[in-house]
């Protein structure tokens, strides 16, 4: 992920403070499952590179314990640690999303006039027996595919296409797009080798499609998009994860948009900060009664 000056493509107009003040805030969160930051740095990812070069980036953020998808995605989307939302495994037993909802669910409660969107191909994020998925039907638009049935690369491509279409035809305010192929590829090959790296490069192409769709919006010049990109956990050399080693616990967080021009330099950052950052950018005041563990990344800690 070598960041070259020639690759710097800014997401927002040249006068960031003025643009943000006059524009409608919007958020796109792209979650790429199971990406080790040090491996990401070795893969040719021009779209992610360009966003990082013109924005805010850390490769030293921390995820949940245990470092597995259920608790980690729950923490990214809700802004609280597993001790609160209750998810400590991929069975989602003990979940309490009524008390600790996702940022999209909070948006629906606090600002029902805003349009929310989620696209994913890992079913437990949207479908669980007994109710209570982290991305429930109250989200205005949900694209729910099954990566195991379709194939993960194919499912990621399909949901990206639907997200691109939505950006062109609708007026979303807060979006979450999940890409599962890198994690599943690493598990399939028990490796962080060429297949895994190719899957990360493919995810970068999907990122590029989404960013192109944002920029192509007819109202883009009147909008203040904050693009957040992150992952749920890292992994070991054999593709496994779930422990507390640095390779498993270290994640990256990227933020791109005019608002990041005033952010402090990257310091300590955590997966739970992402939901708080999205809410803050949309102008939704974070109620102390929500007891979020995360803090907006753009504000001093």
pLDDT given at position 17: 43
Token duo for residue 258? 């005019």
All domains of the chain, ordered by start, with CATH? 19-290 (3.40.720.10)
- Best CA proximity match to 100, nearest among 292, 296, 271: 292
Contact between residue 196 and residue 215 where contact means Cβ atoms under 8 Å apart:
no
Contact between residue 5 and residue 209 where contact means Cβ atoms under 8 Å apart:
no
Contact between residue 19 and residue 224 where contact means Cβ atoms under 8 Å apart:
yes
Q: Is 270 helix (H, G, I), strand (E, B) or coil?
A: strand
How confident is the prediction along the chain (301 residues), in pLDDT tens digits per residue?
543 333 333 454 434 444 445 799 999 999 999 999 999 999 999 999 999 999 999 999 999 999 999 999 999 999 999 999 999 999 999 999 999 999 999 999 999 999 999 999 999 999 999 888 999 999 999 999 999 999 999 999 999 999 999 999 999 999 999 999 999 999 999 999 999 999 999 999 999 999 999 999 999 999 999 999 999 999 999 999 999 999 999 999 999 999 999 999 999 999 999 999 999 999 999 999 999 999 999 988 7
Length of the chain: 301
> Rounded to an integer, what distance in angstroms lies between the CA atom of residue 107 and that of residue 298?
19
CA of 82: how far to CAs of 130, 263, 296, in Å?
19, 28, 19
pLDDT given at position 19: 46
């Amino acid at each position: 992920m070598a960041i070259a000056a020639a690759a710097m493509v800014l997401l927002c107009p040249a006068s960031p403070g003025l643009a943000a003040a006059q524009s409608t805030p919007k958020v796109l969160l792209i979650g790429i499952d199971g990406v080790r930051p040090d491996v990401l740095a070795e893969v040719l990812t021009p779209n992610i590179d360009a966003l990082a070069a013109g924005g805010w980036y850390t490769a030293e953020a921390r995820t949940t314990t245990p470092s597995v998808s259920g608790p980690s995605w729950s923490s990214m989307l809700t802004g609280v640690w597993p001790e609160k939302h209750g998810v400590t495994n991929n069975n989602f037993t003990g979940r309490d999303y009524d008390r600790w909802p996702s940022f999209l669910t909070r948006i629906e409660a606090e600002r029902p006039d805003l349009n929310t969107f989620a696209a994913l191909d890992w079913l437990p994020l949207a479908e669980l027996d007994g109710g209570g998925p982290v991305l429930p039907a109250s989200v205005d638009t949900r694209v729910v595919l099954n990566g195991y049935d379709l194939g993960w690369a194919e499912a990621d491509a399909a949901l990206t296409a639907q997200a691109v279409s939505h950006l062109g035809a609708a007026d979303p305010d807060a979006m979450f797009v999940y890409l599962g192929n890198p994690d599943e590829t690493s598990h399939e090959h028990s490796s962080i080798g060429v297949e895994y790296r190719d899957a990360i490069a493919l995810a970068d192409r999907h990122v590029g499609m989404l960013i192109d769709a944002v920029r192509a919006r007819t109202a883009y010049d009147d909008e203040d998009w904050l693009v957040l990109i992150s992952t749920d956990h890292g992994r070991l050399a054999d593709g496994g994860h779930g422990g507390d080693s640095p390779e498993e616990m270290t994640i990256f967080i990227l933020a791109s948009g005019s608002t990041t021009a005033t952010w402090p330099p990257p310091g300590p950052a955590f997966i739970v900060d992402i939901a708080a950052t999205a809410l803050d950018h949309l102008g939704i005041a974070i109620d102390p009664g929500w007891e979020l563990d995360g803090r907006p990344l753009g504000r001093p800690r």
